Chains A and B, each alone.
Chain A
Amino acid sequence: MEFNSELMKKFSNCFSPSGRENNIRNLIKEEIKDYVDELTTDPLGNLIARKKGNGKKILFSAHMDQIGLIITHVDEKGFLRFSNVGGLHPKELLGLRMIFDNNLEGVICSEELKDKEKLTMSKLYLDVASTSVDFVKNNFQIGDMCVFKSEYYETEDCVICKAADDRIGCYILIEALKNHPATDNDIYYVFSVQEEVGCRGAKTAGYGINPDIAIALDVTATGDSPDGIKMDVKLGGGAAIKLMDKSLITHPQVKELLTNLSIENNIKYQYEVLEFGGTDSGAIHMTRTGVPSGVISIPTRNIHSSGEIFNKNDVLECIKLTISITKS
């Protein structure tokens, strides 16, 4: 299986911050419509692709939304104030280029500060490069969202792009769907909305589907960068089987299942304990009477930045593991 760079590039460049997942949903629909038995969109906007069967109900979830900014105020001089949609730190925003759905752009600037350490979101503004206040007022308004602008780039083994969180999870689900094996299991591939603002889509999708087991596909942090956080996950180490994060303690039986499948199918894997963050499985495992849940994580550096980095081989291992679950 080759890494489909064209598809991932298209996904990464697709404008779809939380609550505005229309573009990516259409893109994914187009990509998978010939491979599924049933394709529905639930009331919150989750795209649910089903491969029917009479066996176990398995839910896979990858979120379609990406982090971004939302305009809160357009001032009299034509500068835009904003708030974050999803987890962003003001210090990491300064100087970044942002792009809107209509392809207009801006750059994030700061008011003059004596102490840059005290930078807060309220001191930042977006300069959309126009001296005409009318132009600004006609083209931007409260509630408009924008996302990072950055180019997709790849080397022999790794990719740098924005929104790898979690378009790479969507990518993995699509590859698994295209290579769906013969199985009795009833499989739901969920492309969820609004994960970045609190795993909202997954909560309703989990309730609606009421599965026997749930597996999220999402990115996780790594401990392999200079003087970085202390954790054992690394790029190139294979699919990461999550054992705990702030939203989930992986069900012991799911841990065992994923471990055994990896060993049986010669899938390169590593265990992950993340001391922060959460995924769709955090929401799904608490729906109704509970759902035994786990996560296959894609080791990713610089999560929530405009240059997230992952390893293509890790992605292939994640695809293999996902496929092996569908027939388990």
Chain B
Amino acid sequence: MIYEPSVSAVLIFLAFVVAAVGLSFYLGRRTKSSEAYFAAHGQIPWFVNGIAFAGDYLSAASFLGICGMIAAYGYDGFLYSIGYLAGWVVALFVIAEPMKRLGRFTFADALDAKFDSRGIKAAAGISTLAVSVFYLIPQMVGAGVLIQPLLGLPHWVGVLMVGVVVIIIVVTAGMVSTTWVQFLKGSLLVVFSTVLVVIVLGRGLNTDAEPHSTIGPIDSALLLGDSIDERLVVEATGEWSAHSEFVRLRSEPGQGFDLYVVIPTEDANQVILRRGQTLTKITGGATLVDGLPLGNEAGQRQLRGVGSVTKLPGGVASTGPLGPIEYLSTLRQSEVLLWSKQAINEADGSTTTVFYPKPTDGSQIMRPGEHPTFAGIRSGDPLDRINFLSLMLALFCGTASLPHILIRYYTVKDAAAARKSTIVGIASIGFFYVLTLYLGLGAMTSGALDVTDSNMAAPLLARSISSLLFAIISAIAFTTVLGTVSGLILASSGAVAHDLVGGFLGIELTGTAQVRLAKVAAVVVGLIAIVLGILFKEMNVSYLVGWAFSVAASANLPALVMLLFWKRTTSQGIIASVIVGMVSSLGWILLSADTYSKVFGWDPATAIAPFSQPGIVTIPLAFATLIVVSLLTSVRRDT
């Protein structure tokens, strides 16, 4: 860990939590009816609702995941920004006004507006629950991942804290408090990200971030000798001997070593050595950095923060302040160090991870295709290309099908307000996504990145500027989780109380009883989320968000779109489409190579699904199911 838990981060975070919970109790005194609990009486001003859209939507995956991906690989993370925003176009132009006109509390209301079918309520309620729970897992895992380095507490404490705070927010005042917490979080996130980007641009690009990190150019024959630069070469034994690109140099016995990676130059006989770092997990629990115990004392070593520019255009050492366009064009002509890792099994059974820099041309980091997920678009494999198309399709269709986003249309008074709040949402979310590119690239060149955890890129960028900003950004990142999780839990509790119990089981409840039931459901879903967040600790955050988008797009969007645009749609068609879309996308994900390797630990080559992203198959499948079933059942309709 290259950062210490910060007292100011704890205090600022606590201030946020106290403010959010206090607000909830204040607003909760008047929230008794179901109109208030599920839809805030439809009284939220459109501007506030628009910013709350941003607070609802910009989850930990957006803020931490995308910035981290850009910091580690360049442009590729920005593809997510583009896809996530494009989805809002579907929401505004196609979905927003009908959703508001047709529904009352939940997504199922809108689907069922024409039919009054218990089957639709059940199918839509279950799909709401499935999507929300899938979306909840990465948020909860993200909360734990954040709290470990920031507050110095174990993973499960972070998950538990978020769970408890969110349950309090949702149970006290439902949609009213959830909206205001999301409004608070959305504004803070956009404002402070802007502050960070302004500072990044003012700092410009500098080449001196990591001094004394290279040796040479030296004669490549020296690599075969037993000393380089007056230091002894550690003998490469075991698996190390298969990695002639790594050289370990030792100044004194017992003082660890410095790892260097061999980088060829234009002259075949000359090489440059560039310093990397190693992390060894010894069986039994101890951790070594470059051969010494992890720590800050004498005789111990700490991982270094990384990320630097090695060459700037014109050979200057510093550019001075840059404009937003200049920043990107200068970086495109520079050379940057990107960090890769290589696992090496030691003879004693422990595993060493070598983190080593790779000088990368700026033009390469400013184009798509560096991240493993997207490398396929340059490999020429048709399946990789289909996988890419499938991901971009799921991002485009997923946004307008997320239940926790859709319920926000019921908190404003009419269709015009729904439209206006979506426009405010698009403007603030779009602006934030433009900032993500600068935040990511700023972190990439900040010298503050943690090689072991790319999710921390944005907070660490703030840390390279000032510790107060680090505390604020960390606390905002944590609040980000609060805002999104409250929206999800509220959507789930609505699905249980309103769609499943009230609609499907047909149990008539008074407003107060329905709210009581929804609160119980919120507590139960919250507890399930806490448990899943702890169980799925090891899962990659952005990977799980991708699942939720695919399932939402496959299960919900076809039914919603066809209901609006095809007059012959029947209730059976909608039910079949939701179920087929949900089951096929979930099944595909479970049978994909990514899940085989990352979840089950099986050989990915044996996976049944030909590529990882289901959208391009399951979204058309759900449309086709709806059309076929509707045509088959329309004759029996007694209208």
Partners in one complex: no
Binding site for A on B (CB under 8 A): none
Binding site for B on A (CB under 8 A): none
